[in-house]
């Protein structure tokens, strides 16, 4: 685990589930999961944020385009919505989501994931 800045740590995929279990057992709340795709780097960054009272901890995982990240929805049920959102809108592969909406959480007419759509547009 590497500290990127205050309360933000870079973690390996193998460390994720241990961290999640520690947070759950200490009654930390899942604040959010954020997926981003920085323009200068060709990979996904998935940031998990946890809060306990006023405290906040963020853990960042790097995932390649075709790499699967483990789901945490069996530990934190509220993760279902964040993970489905990341898969649907960003195209991030998440394995074993407890409740997979099969790209139907967001009822939008435009084609998703947006990232793929943007690249197709750039290529034209």
**Binding letters toward another protein, positions 66-105, x by CB under 8 A:** ----------xxx-xx-------------------x--xx
The correct pick among 29, 43, 65, 120 for binding another protein (CB under 8 A) is: 29
The correct pick among 8, 11, 62, 63 for binding another protein (CB under 8 A) is: 8
The correct pick among 25, 39, 42, 95 for binding another protein (CB under 8 A) is: 39
Asked if residue 65 binds another protein (CB under 8 A), the reply is no
* C-alpha separations of 8 from 24, 44, 77, 115 in Å: 18, 16, 23, 25
38 CB-near residues (< 8 Å, 6+ apart): 45
DSSP 58-86: EEEEEE-TT-EEE--TTT-TTHHHHHHHI
Judged by the rule CB under 8 A, the positions of this chain that interact with another protein are: 5, 7-8, 27, 29-32, 34, 36, 38-40, 47, 49, 51, 53-54, 56, 58, 76-78, 80-81, 101, 104-108, 114, 118
């Amino acid at each position: 685990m590497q500290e990127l800045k205050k309360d933000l740590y870079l973690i390996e995929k193998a460390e994720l589930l241990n961290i999640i279990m520690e947070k759950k057992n200490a009654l930390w709340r899942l604040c959010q999961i954020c997926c981003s795709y920085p323009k200068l780097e060709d990979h996904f960054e998935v940031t998990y944020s946890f809060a306990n009272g006023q405290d906040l901890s963020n853990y960042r995982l790097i995932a390649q385009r075709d790499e699967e990240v483990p789901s945490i929805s069996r530990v934190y049920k509220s993760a279902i919505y964040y993970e489905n959102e990341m898969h649907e809108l960003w195209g991030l592969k998440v394995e074993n989501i407890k409740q997979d909406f099969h790209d139907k959480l967001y009822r939008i007419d435009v084609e998703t994931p947006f990232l793929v759509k943007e690249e197709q547009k750039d290529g034209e």
